[in-house]
A and B are shown apart, each in its own frame.
Chain A
Amino acid sequence: MADGTTIYITGGSHLEAIGRGTPLVGSEISVKAFSFFDPNFQPGVVYSDGHFVYNQKLVDALANEVARRPPDCIVAAIGNSNDFEIGAIKMPAPFDFVDPDDDGDGSELAGQLVPHDILVKHFAHIQRLAMEFIGWVRPFYGGPVIVPSVPPPIASQERLAAFIPPSWREDMEKNGLNSPAFRRKLWKTNTKAMEQEATKAGAIYLPPPLACFDTDGSLSERFVSDAFHGNADYGRLIVEQVLDRFKSSEQ
């Protein structure tokens, strides 16, 4: 994959960083975005009868573009940030869990212990729903579909508080924020489930770019946009990752 590469990107809120980051890469890449938030394709996706149902106009637009000019790959920023949704703010009854890869010293829980397996099943269920989008694409595109990870959590509690959605503020003031360490381990569990479900769905999962982490494993300040999205520089890292992936497969 080299200059002249054509990438179609699609997805929800994490798509924006990739779109904004593409021009920063420097290569001649042709990118076209199909956002679930595009006003022409509303509602982009709805939940119905246990499945995600996508806006047919959006799917048709992507299909038409694929037919007109087949891309080298479709980058589907469809992974769900459910770890942020359930873990940014403490719940009225807090929960905690044990990361099986980290059998460290901590013997105290910050809330009710939830078995790790239950969390994995919870996240996997949500990611499986999100990955249904790949099934919508497959009838008209047999090439690589790449699902990038969602960015790791940000470290700054102040920044997180500043960008908490307005409808969550009352809960935040009442219950407080979860610690960065808790949010990181929750994100790790979620992204493992994302990798598992993306792979099952026949997509290529892209782990977070190594350069995006700070020393604690949070999203480095340089790549932060708001409470949980990456900025254009983060998007650039993703696009570079996609290009590297193709380079290595060509070699």
Chain B
Amino acid sequence: MGDHPYKHRPDYCFWRPSIAATDFRTVDPVVRGKFKLGKNHKIATAGSCFAQHIARYLQIAGYNYFVVERPHPAFAGWFTDDYNYGTFSARFGNLYTSRQLLQLLERAYQLFCPFEDVWTNESGRFVDPFRPQIQPGGFSSIKELQLDRKQHFSAVRTMVEELDVFVFTLGLTEAWVGRDDGAVLPLCPGVAGGIFDGAKYEYRNFSVSDVTSDLRNAIDFIQDRNPRARFILTVSPVPLVATMEDRSVLVSTAYSKAVLRVAADVVANESDSIAYFPSFEIITGQHAGNTYFEPDLRSIRPDGVAHVMGLFAKHYLDDGENSDEKPDSAIDEQMANHRQRMTDLAKLICEEESLNRQ
């Protein structure tokens, strides 16, 4: 047999040595990080539920998880835990789609003002349509909601202008938008506040070009205001809880993840300051089977999160550089520690869960 290009490819390019013949817990599809994060870098996070794992890990590991919207120090720890301070860098709740991220940025800079303003919930309290579960039980008055939103936007601007790295986890392509202005809602109206009105809202399933364009625009938006900003894109491995398409939710999940995965790749390949981190592959790849999923086949088990975050630390965090050179027992111990940490993590909020019929 003659020479051919594959002969010179490294092991990670081959399925058998890097995937099939490797203990699934040590499969490493990252290969190398595009850049490293030091302990002084301000790392902001946003995205779908899965992004919360990254946020919590960074805090536990002692990195500079950049939180710009914290509870007031006089009340921190006093009943503030349920108010989603620090769940992400600011109290924006889950940003499932790249259009949501882009519109959040535009709203924070007063470049977009949606018609949708305030919803009421079943208790008659007030809900921010763009953060429907950010305040347990809703806001106590419209004024409080509006002032909180103003404070929130100020925090988002601080985040944009001061962050060093922005980790964004893409979650969904399906969304509900306002017919008049295209404002993207994180949840269908009526699920956690508001009233569904087919004349006001329409369903959208974003395409690859939609997501790519929104993602690119959101990154440009941030870099225009903060040229040193770098980005790590991930795709959430969590399947859709429900689909509006007239087809199996499994098929819709495959479509959604494929679109997000392609868009992330396209955008990440455009710049050295944008990286793709394969958390989706680590959790859903054939090496893992369903091992990393809980029995509901949606929630990610702590050892799955530990695998993801172990590789994130190894390839992107300065202190995690040599983790693959440790003997197996050390790896096991490391994983056990990760598992314990992940088990200790407080509950994650996931607005999309509200769609579940049960």
Q: For the complex, is B136 an interface residue (Cβ under 8 Å from A)?
A: yes
| CB contact between B79 and one of A98, A111, A125 (< 8 Å): that residue | A125
By beta carbon, the residue of chain B nearest A97 is: B144
Residue from B71, B136, B143, B146 with most neighbouring chain A CB atoms (10 Å): B143
Dominant secondary structure of chain A at its interface with chain B: loop
How far apart are the CA atoms of A117 and B135 in the complex, in Å? 9
For residue B140, which residues in chain A have a CB less than 8 angstroms away from its CB? 98, 100, 115-117
> Is B151 touching A98 in the complex (CB atoms < 8 A)?
no
| CB contact between B147 and one of A113, A118, A122 (< 8 Å): that residue | A113
Q: For the complex, is A91 an interface residue (Cβ under 8 Å from B)?
A: yes
A91 to chain B, nearest CB (A): 6
By beta carbon, the residue of chain A nearest B145 is: A98
Total contacts A to B, CB within 8 angstroms? 66
Given known pairs A113-B151, A115-B139, A118-B71, the reply for A125 and B144 (CB within 8 Å) is no
- Chain A residues 102 to 145 lying within 8 A of chain B, measured CB to CB, are 103-104, 106-107, 109, 111-119, 121-122, 125
Query: Interface size of A by Cβ–Cβ distance < 8 Å?
Result: 24
> Is B75 touching A118 in the complex (CB atoms < 8 A)?
yes
Interface size class of B (residues with CB under 8 A): 20 to 34
For residue A93, which residues in chain B have a CB less than 8 angstroms away from its CB? 72-74
- Chain B residues 229 to 281 lying within 8 A of chain A, measured CB to CB, are none
- Chain B residues 61 to 94 lying within 8 A of chain A, measured CB to CB, are 71-75, 78-80, 83
| CB contact between A107 and one of B72, B79, B147 (< 8 Å): that residue | B147
How far apart are the CA atoms of A107 and B151 in the complex, in Å? 11
Dominant secondary structure of chain B at its interface with chain A: loop
> Is A98 touching B75 in the complex (CB atoms < 8 A)?
no
Q: For the complex, is A163 an interface residue (Cβ under 8 Å from B)?
A: no
Q: For the complex, is B117 an interface residue (Cβ under 8 Å from A)?
A: no
How far apart are the CA atoms of A8 and B183 in the complex, in Å? 63
Q: For the complex, is A86 an interface residue (Cβ under 8 Å from B)?
A: yes
> Is A114 touching B79 in the complex (CB atoms < 8 A)?
no
For residue A98, which residues in chain B have a CB less than 8 angstroms away from its CB? 140-141, 143-144, 147
Further 19 A-B residue pairs, CB within 8 A, beyond A98-B140, A98-B147, A106-B143: A91-B74, A93-B73, A95-B74, A98-B143, A100-B141, A100-B144, A104-B143, A112-B151, A113-B147, A115-B83, A115-B135, A115-B148, A117-B136, A118-B75, A118-B78, A118-B83, A121-B79, A122-B79, A125-B79
**A-B contact list, 6 entries, CB within 8 Å:** A95-B72, A114-B74, A115-B135, A115-B139, A116-B140, A125-B79
* B contacts, CB < 8 Å to A: 71-75, 78-80, 83, 135-137, 139-144, 146-148, 151
